[in-house]
Amino acid sequence: MVGQLRQARTAFVAAPIGRILSVLVLLVIVYVIFVLLTRIFDRGGGYFLQILIFGVANGAIYALVALGYTMVYGIIELINFAHGDLFTLGGFISLFLLPIVGADASKAGTAAIILPLIIVFLATMAICGAINVTIERVAYRPLRHAPRVAPLITAIGMSFILEGLMFLWKGPFNLPYPNLLPTASFTIAEATIHLRDIFVIVIAVVLMIVLSIFVSRSSLGKAMRATAQDQDATELMGIDINRTIAATFFIGAVLAGAGGTIFGLYYNTLVFDLGFSAGLFAFTAAVFGGIGNIQGAALGGLVIGIIIAFSDGYFESAWTQVVIFGILILVLVFRPTGLLGMRVPEK
């Protein structure tokens, strides 16, 4: 008996520290999940549904931004740091366009707002696309065969330039964004669901489905996937690589522009450096889902949005970033390619 105990102790002491730590981490995770479940049970289903809706709406916006990161990375393996700022720029441009097309608060929530909003969405998306294509032409294309770190630095530079321009344009303040969406709501199981929550989710899902169909069915989508696999072979097949890459930047920015407009309409506020934090979370979402993978980015955005809402609603906001990046590290340790796997060709 004593011998057995001693043997067990020796084995325990001799066990690699890594294994002990893994067990500790596992215990912490089990404990956190247990606490979360008891709190969810205590607070009831209505509250759960309410928090879930907030999380999905927030996550849908992150997903739209994450798609731009993932598409650009998928095709030229560049982390486009300027993408988060393009998202903010989309919000700024739409804010500028709203009064021009006559979308003011007096029409909020009525049918008269629908047409101006569609015009603003389309114009913002087109302008953002054009800006991103220009950025690609000026700052990334000349460096396509340069060492990896060079376009990375020009991307960071572009991010600061865009932020600086927005700062000069509108100043450092939080900008009020008109509240144009209907304020109506309905109640399901004690949860109040606003039409604006549904609006955000529906628009984001529609855009993502359109993108997904486009990439898998259209010839340009095929060209993109081919370029991502092998640029030289694609070029030999007579596909214009420059045009294909420019198109990828255009589509990514179109989604960012839509995301910025949705953010403004949903939260009714914008600030020039919003893109830094939003971009960081969206990029995390892209890695979460498996960078280069379009469905992965959508899923990653949704998961991050829900984690933020649950952490804020059931624990404390002060813990939110710890929780997000803790989960990210865990997922990457066990699945280095992200939830749905990377779609980046081996080179």
- The residues binding other proteins (CB under 8 A) are 43, 47, 50-51, 54-55, 58, 105, 167, 172-174, 176, 179, 183, 185, 192, 194, 263, 267-269, 271-274, 277-278, 280-281, 308-310, 312-313, 316-318, 320-321
Cβ at position 174, least distance to other proteins in Å: 5
DSSP 268: S
- In angstroms, the CA 65 to CA 58 distance is 11
Of residues 183 and 242, the one with the C-beta less far from other proteins: 183
- As measured in angstroms, the least distance from the Cβ of 313 to other proteins is 4
CB 74 within 8 A of CB 292: yes
Residue where the block lists tokens 């280095």: 336
Angle at CA 91, nearest 5°, toward 89 and 96? 95
Determine the Cα–Cα distance for residues 81 and 208; give it in Å rounded to an integer: 21
Q: Between 63 and 274, name the residue whose CB sits nearer to other proteins.
A: 274
CB of 78 to other proteins, least distance (A): 24
Contact 204, 298 (CB under 8 A): no
Instruction: Please report how close the Cβ of residue 104 comes to other proteins at its closest, in angstroms.
Output: 13
Nearer to other proteins, 136 or 312 (CB): 312
> Which are the contacts of 327, defined by CB distance < 8 A and separation ≥ 6?
307
Alpha helix stretches (DSSP H) within the chain:
2-14, 17-76, 83-100, 114-135, 149-170, 195-217, 219-229, 231-236, 241-267, 274-289, 294-314, 320-334
Residue 254 Cβ, how far from other proteins at the closest point, in Å? 22
Query: For residues 82 and 340, which CB has a smaller minimum distance to other proteins in the complex?
Result: 82
Nearer to other proteins, 87 or 250 (CB): 87
**Pair of tokens at residue 297:** 């980015």
Q: Which is nearer to other proteins, 172 or 238 (CB)?
A: 172
Q: Which residues contact 264 (CB under 8 A, 6 or more apart)?
A: 91, 94, 95, 177, 270
Residue 71 CA neighbour count, 13 Å, CB half: 29
Closer residue to other proteins in complex, CB, 81/310: 310
Query: Measured from the CB of residue 173, what is the shortest distance to other proteins in angstroms?
Result: 6
| Angle formed by the axes of helices 83-100 and 17-76, nearest 10° | 50
Quote the least distance from Cβ 177 to other proteins, whole Å.
8
